[in-house]
């Protein structure tokens, strides 16, 4: 009887230890996944930080300042001339032949293959 009681107690203790060990292993696995995700995010943030530092250095440079002054304010150096290119309007891009705009596709194909 005492022997059976000790055997059942040992089995229960082993079962409890096994269940707790399984929980800890699963917990450690989840934690390791979180750590690897955090490491990946850290690497991404380091790359982004480096890119932002490079961008900041460029924007502190005289080259950037001069380009912004030229583009935004339209200023030029002595001896330079400013050329202003007009924006394309839809009217200039369309053909002068208004009749071709009103024709259906089959009429345009007919003109292409057989002429007018």
Report the pLDDT value the prediction gives residue 11, as an integer from 0 to 100.
93
> pTM score, two decimals?
0.46
Domain boundaries, the chain: 43-73
Given pLDDT bands bounded at 50, 70 and 90, which one contains residue 84? Answer: confident
For residues 95 and 101, give the distance between their C-alpha atoms in angstroms, rounded to a whole number.
8
Q: What is the pLDDT of residues 26-69, one digit of tens each?
A: 898 889 999 999 999 999 999 999 999 999 999 999 999 888 88
Report the pLDDT value the prediction gives residue 50, as an integer from 0 to 100.
97
């Amino acid at each position: 009887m005492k022997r059976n009681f000790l055997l059942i107690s040992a089995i229960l203790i082993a079962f409890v230890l096994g269940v707790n060990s399984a929980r800890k292993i699963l917990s450690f696995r989840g934690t390791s996944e979180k750590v690897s995700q955090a490491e990946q995010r850290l690497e991404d943030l380091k790359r982004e930080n480096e890119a932002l530092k490079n961008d900041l250095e460029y924007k502190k440079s005289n080259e950037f300042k001069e380009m912004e002054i030229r583009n935004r304010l339209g200023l030029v150096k002595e001896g330079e001339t400013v050329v202003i290119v007009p924006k394309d309007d839809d009217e200039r891009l369309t053909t002068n032949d208004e009749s071709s705009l009103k024709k259906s596709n089959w009429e345009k194909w007919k003109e292409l293959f057989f002429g007018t």
